Amino acid sequence: MRNNSHASNGFDLLNSTIASNGLGQDILTKKDAFEAFAKTFFTLTDTYSPPQNIWFIVQYEGKAPEFYKGTYDGDPLSLKVILTQKEEKGKKETRKEVGGYHLAYEYIRELSEKPGTKGVTWIPSQVPFTPTSDRFKQTDVLQIEFDKGTQTEQESLLKAFIKDYPWKGLAVHHSGNKSYHTTIKLSHSINKHDWAYLMSLLMAIYDGYVDPKPCNNVVQQMRVPSFYRKDKEKEQALLYLSPETSLNPLGKEIKRKFPTFEELKNNLESIVTGLGKTLPKHTITNKCKVWESSSISSTSTIDYIKKYGEENCLELIRYVVTNLPTRVAGTNTYDSYRVALGASGNILGDKNKALELFSPLLPHGTGDWEQVNDSTTGAFGIPALKQAFYNLTGSDLLLPSVFQGTTKNSIDTEELKVSLLQYFEEFYNSNLTGTALTLELGSLAKLVGHRVQWVESTYTQWIQEAEYKEQLPDLKRTLDHLLQVQTKDIDLGHYIPSGLAVKLKNISSILGTTELGLLTCLLPIASSLINANTHLTLIKASDFKRHPIIWSGIVGGSGCAKSPTLKTLKKPLEEFQATAQEMWERSTQLYSEALDQWKATPTEEREEKPITPFDPQRFYVNDTTGEALVRLQARQQDRGFLLEFDELSALLKGANQYKGGKGRDIENLLQARDGTFPHTERVDSSVFALRSTYSIVGGIQPDILKQQMGDGSDPNGYWARFLMCCRPTKKAIFPENDYDSGLYPLLKGIYLNLIALPAYRAELSPDAKELYREWFEYCQEEKVKGEGTYKSKIFSKHTAFVGDIALILSLIDTAYIKGITATRLSLDEFKKMIDEAIEKAFKPIELERYVISRKHLEKAIELIKIYQNQFDLIYQDILEVTGDLTPELKKIYDFSLKKGEIKARDVKMASRVFKSYSMADIRKMFDDLTEMGYGHTTGEGSKKSFLATKTSTEQMNQHAIDLTHQGWSVLHLPTGEWYKIQYEYQKGKEVFAIAIHEDGHQKNQPLSDFQFLKDTKPSFS
């Protein structure tokens, strides 16, 4: 093949891969590619009689494609192309002569380079008129599209196929986007069934890598090399064409030939069996693998012999043959005779018998009458026979009385149904749209004797049902994801110190909460205690800094332990706040006494006036206004505090409540999440805070959240600033051993150590920086990809939030390592600690260097992905913004898991979501859930019921939850073993654990010996 200066380097990977096996060729584009491709694939096989057809289709953005019908007589240079696009004016078909071989190529190539075009496709099958499946005659070409897997995987498969392909007529070309097309030329034309069998074999070989559409539709449009993809700015390049000759084992050059059907079939079958796969069936009614599994597969045709009797069917066909004229070549009646013959074979159930009866009408030596059957012509029974009879005679076919049904057009109801469904499927698989679809539906309406509006309405309804069936796999994937997110919990020991994790695990079963719920409450509490001057620099170039601030929310109904969880973790703060208040009251009393004494002292003898005591430090606040928030932050600028709400909805409802809704409380809140705080100026005062350091935690019920989030658009990103955790309602377990778990003194010790930590100037370690760069780029890509959806806002915020979490997890570890204070602080000890903090506030800030490890950043990324999954649950389950039936299907499934066997009426009464659905709609959802493997139905009609069954993932997760509820902390090893830690205790500085293996043997040794506590990482989807 000749060199082509226009070859694109974008295909060098495939070319070099093939070249490494001695099969390399130059990449061809433009006219070189067209000529090389045409000389192989635009030639006639011995079963074609000239002239033959080929269709080129120019694809456009936002408008219908243009069809160009080419004819040729065996020599590519004889190709003539005509534009056959139909126009509405006068309802006539306008034809535009494009020209012969060279002019046709230049004309279409020029169109492909114009803005608004999307490349050029072709249909190699022999279709005389508008290319639809029902008009298919025959083909000698197979085409598959590799569009799954990586480019390297696709090229590896193609290389292996090319290497062992012994014939000519194999081409590989590029779509101009990201997929490869493979085209195979046969020595003879084949019918639809043989074509479908070969496609089934190819699908079995390359399962998971090829697009099923071309295997599904015998007139599927495919990319043709040599033209340009303007929308992608890439060539549809010809990458490989099998050579005309090859060397035999003796080194002699031999001429290659096109494979016959049997040769290619045997070759492909040997590959399939070599892969250990089962061969598909190959019968006269065979359809390829994709068709067999399709949810819109054809309805079987009517058994006319059984319905009307063999003699009556024979009499009908004899009548038709007697009243039809003998076919004369060149009278443009070829297709009508083919339809009549195919329909007759369908009615008789014997195509050979039909051919025998029609033989006197058909000229011998021309056509391919022996291959005609109902499938090759798309002709199904009496409706098609009546249409063909009318086309050939101009008269209606008068049916004998035995064939006359009860419909107004003498078409049996069952027959009408079968015929319509078959034609609908053909239209759907042919991707008919616009004028072409309108014309076909009009013809179908005439054929079945119904109004066009009725046929169009029925077809629209059928399309909706078919598309919904096609969506079921996607619905199942979404539903699987949501159910996994809903049931899967985290291992706290992977994220926080094991000594703390074990105690929290034990308390989670008693409270009836989850480990993720505990961590979601712990993070904002810990962040509120860290020195306000601490910060983490993520990107030095842009001074991109993060502060220890976390906003989090627990989403769950009443009774899901939101308040008890928060109260347990907040309890030390209550002691701190009470002690601070007591200390302030004592300081105030001492100040009052000192002030009285100072006033009683003569002026000349007075020393400095006593200093007014500072207001008590606030560790948490659960009721405040926007301006009070500013003043509180300004008062303790080096210390944060916790904004805690039983119901998070109060935060939004309370904003601007004293300003008639005209204040800036919401805007100030949004700024505060990133550490920015407003400088408030009033006529009588001025309040300034260096920064915001308060964190937020609270619970909210799903219905309330839905009211506040509305359509979920979240225009200002308020909700995207929260880490949300959805909590199912779970039963709390009464502990078998009612002992003091030691959680409170441990928590208090860690909290005090967090308060005592200095202000840090944190930075990422070198390997953590590299990981953050990858995370940053990933989030930016996902943000752009999800533009217009909630995911865009989530990824925008989470780009930075991962730094917040990494900083806090690292500082919790640091505070834990510093030791545990288990006793109650005395007032004097607490005063000393607070005085030291106040003293530091008036000194120049000296920040200590602190390094965040890659390990802590990895944990933060894992957690942020988990919280992203929680947002999926919120948006797709609670807010129901998916646009499909995922929320409804999930609600039915969850309802049945709780209640057992349910009926449509139970579902309708249980949730307002189903108010607009009929009982039949709900029962249809029962069937869909059953089909997806989420349960099974019993009964029919109004008695149909549904019983959900847990998926394997849910059962595994439930096993861990059940063990935890028995008072154990559950740890799963990569080996598949289970260790259950029942109790942890401290002996000196060493932490010990009593752990029992699943086989019953007990361990009582230092916790550090349980290496899996540190090393095992849970997997997250």
- 657-670 pLDDT, tens digit per residue, is 444 445 556 777 77
- The pLDDT tens digits for 409-445 are 434 555 667 677 778 877 877 777 788 788 888 878 8
> Is the model's pLDDT at 157 over the cut of 50?
yes
Averaged pLDDT for residues 314-319: 89
Residue entry with tokens 């929260």: 722
- The pLDDT tens digits for 211-265 are 666 666 666 778 888 888 888 888 888 888 888 877 655 566 778 888 888 888 8
Residue 867 vs residues 56, 188, 515, 552: alpha-carbon distances, Å: 50, 59, 13, 10
Q: When comparing pLDDT for 630 and 270, which is higher?
A: 270
Cβ atoms within 10 A of the Cβ of 940, count?
Answer: 8
User: What whole-number distance in Å separates Cα of residue 706 and Cα of residue 152?
Assistant: 45
pLDDT the model gives residue 528 = 93
CA 718 to chain centre: 25
Instruction: Output the six-digit token pair for 147.
Output: 């569009």
- The pLDDT tens digits for 82-130 are 555 444 444 444 445 555 556 677 888 888 888 888 888 887 655 444 4
User: What whole-number distance in Å separates Cα of residue 803 and Cα of residue 776?
Assistant: 11
* Helix (H) or strand (E) segment spanning residue 698: strand 695-700
Cβ atoms within 10 A of the Cβ of 830, count?
Answer: 18
Q: Are 376 and 342 in contact (CB under 8 A)?
A: yes
> Is the model's pLDDT at 161 over the cut of 90?
no
Q: Are 668 and 690 in contact (CB under 8 A)?
A: no
Name the phi and psi angles at 849, rounded to 5.
Answer: -70, 140
Burial tier of 636 (Cβ tally within 10 Å: 0-12, 13-18, 19+): buried
Averaged confidence pLDDT in the chain: 75
Residue 674 vs residues 521, 545, 755, 783: alpha-carbon distances, Å: 19, 9, 21, 19
User: What whole-number distance in Å separates Cα of residue 474 and Cα of residue 889?
Assistant: 13
| Strand-pair partners of 139 | 190
Of 29-38, 213-222, 923-932, least confident by mean pLDDT is 213-222
C-alpha angle 713-715-721 in degrees, rounded to nearest 5: 95
Name the phi and psi angles at 20, rounded to 5.
Answer: -65, -15
Where are any strands of DSSP class E within 231-328?
234-235, 238-241, 245-247, 253-255
Instruction: Output the six-digit token pair for 23.
Output: 């099969």
Where are any strands of DSSP class E within 625-683?
642-645, 679-682
pLDDT the model gives residue 537 = 93
Of 153-162, 769-778, 877-886, least confident by mean pLDDT is 877-886
Instruction: Output the six-digit token pair for 105.
Output: 């190529």
Averaged pLDDT for residues 727-738: 72
> Is the model's pLDDT at 989 over the cut of 70?
no
Q: Are 794 and 868 in contact (CB under 8 A)?
A: yes
Is residue 468 classed as helix, strand or coil in its secondary structure? Answer: helix
3-state DSSP helix/strand/coil percent for the chain, to nearest 5? 50, 15, 35
Averaged pLDDT for residues 631-635: 78
User: What whole-number distance in Å separates Cα of residue 900 and Cα of residue 917?
Assistant: 21
- The pLDDT tens digits for 505-522 are 888 878 888 899 999 999
| Beta carbons within 8 Å of 919's beta carbon, 6+ residues apart | 904, 905, 908, 942
User: What whole-number distance in Å separates Cα of residue 599 and Cα of residue 827?
Assistant: 29
pLDDT the model gives residue 863 = 93
pLDDT the model gives residue 516 = 92
Instruction: Output the six-digit token pair for 953.
Output: 């993932």
Q: Are 28 and 166 in contact (CB under 8 A)?
A: no
CA 225 to chain centre: 32
Is residue 914 classed as helix, strand or coil in its secondary structure? Answer: helix
User: What whole-number distance in Å separates Cα of residue 708 and Cα of residue 652?
Assistant: 9
> Is the model's pLDDT at 639 over the cut of 90?
no
pLDDT the model gives residue 1 = 32
Residue 973 vs residues 591, 951, 970, 1013: alpha-carbon distances, Å: 61, 22, 10, 9
Largest CA distance in the chain: 140
User: What whole-number distance in Å separates Cα of residue 136 and Cα of residue 55?
Assistant: 13
Name the phi and psi angles at 254, rounded to 5.
Answer: -125, 155
Averaged pLDDT for residues 593-614: 87
CA 722 to chain centre: 23
Is residue 726 classed as helix, strand or coil in its secondary structure? Answer: strand
- The pLDDT tens digits for 682-714 are 444 555 666 778 899 999 988 888 888 887 788
Instruction: Output the six-digit token pair for 875.
Output: 């948006």
What radius of gyration do the chain's Cα atoms show?
38
- The pLDDT tens digits for 251-279 are 667 788 888 888 888 888 888 887 778 78
| Strand-pair partners of 58 | 66, 120
Of 223-232, 272-281, 740-749, 790-799, least confident by mean pLDDT is 272-281
User: Where do runs of H (alpha helix) occur along 735-853?
Assistant: 743-756, 766-785, 790-817, 827-841
Q: Residue 45: which pLDDT band, with cuts at 50, 70 and 90? A: low
The highest-confidence range among 19-28, 209-218, 635-644, by mean pLDDT, is 635-644
User: What whole-number distance in Å separates Cα of residue 752 and Cα of residue 847?
Assistant: 20
> Is the model's pLDDT at 551 over the cut of 90?
yes
Instruction: Output the six-digit token pair for 715.
Output: 């225009």
Averaged pLDDT for residues 842-864: 85
Name the phi and psi angles at 262, rounded to 5.
Answer: -65, -40
Instruction: Output the six-digit token pair for 774.
Output: 């990858």
Of 215-219, 451-455, 479-483, least confident by mean pLDDT is 215-219
Of 164-173, 476-485, 579-588, 650-659, least confident by mean pLDDT is 650-659
User: What whole-number distance in Å separates Cα of residue 196 and Cα of residue 194?
Assistant: 5
Q: Are 808 and 530 in contact (CB under 8 A)?
A: yes
- The pLDDT tens digits for 525-540 are 999 999 888 999 999 8
Domain 883-949, what architecture? Orthogonal Bundle (1.10)
Q: Residue 152: which pLDDT band, with cuts at 50, 70 and 90? A: confident
Averaged pLDDT for residues 961-990: 52
* Helix (H) or strand (E) segment spanning residue 707: helix 702-709
Q: Are 488 and 953 in contact (CB under 8 A)?
A: yes
- The pLDDT tens digits for 47-70 are 444 456 677 888 888 777 887 777
